[in-house]
Chain A
Amino acid sequence: MRVTNNTMTNSIVRYLTSQNEALFERQTIIASGKKINKPSDDPIGMGKVLDYRQTIATIEQYQTNIKRGKTRLDVTETNLKLVDDLLQVVRAISQTEAAGTTESRQLAAGNVKNLFDQVLDTANSKLNRNYMFSGYQTKTAPFSRDDAQATTLDKFTVTYNGDAGDARFMVAENTEVTAAADGEAIFHDLAGISIFNPMRDLIVALENDDAAAISAQQGLLDQAHTHLQDIRGANAPISYQLETTESHWQNYKPKIEELLAKEETADITQAIVELQSLEIAYQTTLATTARIIQPGLLNFLK
């Protein structure tokens, strides 16, 4: 084929341009540290990268949610334990005062009143500015009693101001963990066990110096204690579920992060080696160009 000056120069320009392009691509990879710098670098990889990123962000959110759930369960347990301990003191008093004197019984009534209020306060405790045991009515104190009532019985009758709602935490896709928040079911179930009523009746019995009534409360207080144990026991599997989900995410997340890195991160060593071989090719082309373009017949004619 007849080769003219223009044929050579055009070809050389094309080769140099494409080599420059390849060099530039390698440089971009090294500078950014990423294999994928635009969707066309690896379309399928780009899709995967977007998926992995979303998954990781969601897992991190689940981990936050689980922490909140665990905190709630811990604080619930602490409160319930306190109530149980207080209940034990009240039961001890009822035992002692079954055979007590009128004066000691009056003193004891005052004690139990204080203990009653302490249990009331604990049932009304808050977490993050939300009442824990009001069901969904987290801005309303669950239990209240009216000190303006006439009789002691009425003064220490509590009303429940919340509802039957629970506390749910999102821990996985379409999976929620539910923690108990219904104060009525826990502390004051009128169709079942009430923590408050035996205490109230004990106070009334102590004030009335009624030995039989005092003794009668012991059994009810025992039932209340068992009830609390049951409630505390029921929280254990929920706590366990949170723990296992937490460690599941702890194991799973690094694996996704690894997959993401594999898709996205460039192997710098490999990129640099490729850059060097491209550079050599480029320089060779340049040197060859210089040798071919310059001489012509003119140089040799006198």
Chain B
Amino acid sequence: MSDIFGIMSLAGQALMTQQQAISVTSHNIANVNTPGYSRQRLNMTTNIPMESSVGPMGNGVSGVSIERLYDRFLSSQISNESQGLGQWEAHKDAVQMLEVIFNESDGPGLSQAMSKFWDAWQALTNNPSGATERQVLVTASQVLANTFNKLDEDLNGSQQNLDLAIQGTVEDINRLSEQLADLNEKIISSEIGSLSANDYRDQRELVLKELSVLIDINTFEDANGAVSVLTGSGRPLVSSDQFWQLSTEVNASGLQDVVWVDNSGGTLNITGDISGGKLKGLLEARDGIITDYMTRLDTLAGFLRADVNLLHQGGFDLNGIAGEAFFIGTGTAADLEVNPNIVGDLDFIAAASDPLTFPGDNRNAIEIANLQHQLTMSGNTATYNDYYSSVVRDVGNEVLKSNSYYNHQSDMMAQLENQRESVSGVSLDEEMINLIKFQNAYTAAARLVTTADEMMQTIMQML
């Protein structure tokens, strides 16, 4: 039955509903720049119609629920691609650091140091007993050894930096896991009445995205609304309001391994199981790439040292005594050093080929100088310089490849983000229009109240 009071209460409900709608709109406007925010919308529906003499009579509007506009599939896509983004970003940064270490474009570097070393041996052949020539050779050799040492030191430094970054990343992962557990708890308790905890869900979405940048994860939502997070290899990180930690421990090479800590405090090494995210990028750079270049540098230093020493020890110095090792050390780039005995007494440089033919015999020096052009490296297919050139070239290619993968991934993320924005993003123009829409409806509903009131007055005046 329709009566004036019915009209009043209908108008009152309309006022409230439009007011609610404006509330939601203002929430959207306020959060236009909030990262990860999904726009919300009040779902209005007509009330249950009442029976009347002229048939079912509409009963006004009420707000049913606040809906969060959000594409679940897009979210999981973004999550997956974030892992690739994190991985290639970390990879790219590490390789660019490598490029700085091996940058020979200015001039001074290992290539030039090797060049000067060979030239010094040649200069010696012109005057094998000359003190100046011998001093020049020793100095050039020391510069060469120091350059090797420094390159190795820089590579080690890079490894240490990556190690620190890995530790930092593990800490971030733990922090995010804890936040997720906390948000899970809040969502479960907010949604008990089967309402949707929209803002908490947005926040949780953001945390999940951050987490997937760092490490490869699998997620699924359970019936209570909580999200469970597992690492790629199946170790739980978050389940309902519980979370597990990752930690680091030192491995055999003195670097950090990533371990998962279970409920009783035991640890499980998951370093080899990580297959995505920033953690993977850092581990790959640290253990794969940098170690590879360190090995190549060591190979070069080792061959150089062995070959020069072999010839030098087969020659004779200015005292007619067989030459000592020219370079000492274990054959790695880190401890390559000119024999201090030779540095202390230049006579020990073995330029002669015969114990009786010093001081004018330069044949051994000639042989050593000719090592420059020998195919000694890579199974006798490359000279020392060829080998090193290929190292520098490979670094350049590594950077190009890394940049290319990162750019591709980054473009894909941008596309996905745009799609997410298109579904969930706030458009101020749209909200403005909605504001006007609801405001007009509010004004009209207010007018309804006034009209009903006037009708009441009219009836009262009839009495």
Contact = CB atoms under 8 A, between A and B. Distances in A.
Interface of A: 1-7, 10-11, 14, 34, 36-44, 46-47, 49-51, 53-54, 57-58, 60-62, 64-65, 68, 128-130, 134-139, 163, 165, 167-170, 173-174, 176, 181, 296-298, 301
B103 interface: yes
A298 B396 contact: no
Contact of B112 (A53, A139, A163, A173): A53
Nearest to B433: A297
B422 A7 contact: yes
Interface string B416-429: 01110111011111
A39 B403 CA distance: 13
Contacts of B428: 5, 296-298
Interface stretch (B125-133, B164-172, B228-236): B125-133
A301 B394 CA distance: 60
B175 interface: no
Given A57-B115, A173-B370, 10 more contacts: A2-B422, A10-B414, A39-B393, A39-B396, A46-B396, A54-B115, A58-B119, A134-B360, A139-B360, A298-B432
B129 A130 contact: yes
B327 interface: no
B372 interface: yes
A163 B356 contact: yes
B432 A61 contact: no
Contacts of A36: 105
Contacts of B125: 65, 168-170
B32 interface: yes
Contacts of B421: 3-4, 6-7, 10
Interface residues of B, number: 67
A129 B114 CA distance: 30
B33 interface: yes
A43 B400 contact: yes
Interface string B365-406: 010011011000000000001101110111111011001000
Contact of B393 (A3, A37, A47, A297): A47
A47 B115 CA distance: 15
Contact of B395 (A11, A39, A174): A39
A40 B400 contact: yes
Nearest to B37: A6
B12 interface: no
Nearest to A295: B429
A46 B104 contact: yes
Nearest to A169: B126
B358 interface: yes
Which residue among B105, B123, B403, B426 has the maximum number of chain A CB atoms within 10 Å of its CB?
B105
Given A7-B425, A40-B99, A167 B399 contact: no
Which residue among A10, A11, A61, A174 has the maximum number of chain B CB atoms within 10 Å of its CB?
A61
A61 B119 contact: yes
B32 A5 contact: yes
A237 B455 CA distance: 132
A10 B425 CA distance: 12
- The 9 A-B pairs at the shortest CB distance, nearest first, are namely A39-B396, A43-B396, A4-B425, A138-B360, A40-B399, A136-B357, A136-B360, A47-B393, A47-B389
Which residue among B115, B363, B370, B432 has the maximum number of chain A CB atoms within 10 Å of its CB?
B115
Given A43-B396, A61-B122, A65-B122, A170 B366 contact: yes
B130 to A, nearest CB: 7
B324 interface: no
Contacts of A41: 105, 396
Contacts of A3: 421-422, 427
A53 B422 contact: no
Contacts of B127: 68, 128, 130
Interface in B62-97: none
Nearest to A14: B414
Given A2-B427, A34-B105, A58 B356 contact: no
B359 interface: yes
B104 A58 contact: no
B381 to A, nearest CB: 15
A30 to B, nearest CB: 15
A165 to B, nearest CB: 6
B408 to A, nearest CB: 14
A134 B115 CA distance: 33
Contact of A11 (B33, B388, B418): B418
Which residue among B116, B360, B361, B436 has the maximum number of chain A CB atoms within 10 Å of its CB?
B360
Nearest to B116: A57
B370 A4 contact: no
29 contacts: A1-B422, A4-B421, A4-B426, A5-B425, A5-B426, A5-B427, A10-B421, A11-B418, A39-B395, A40-B403, A47-B389, A50-B104, A50-B111, A53-B112, A57-B116, A61-B118, A61-B119, A64-B126, A65-B122, A129-B130, A135-B357, A136-B354, A139-B129, A163-B357, A168-B363, A297-B432, A297-B433, A298-B428, A301-B436
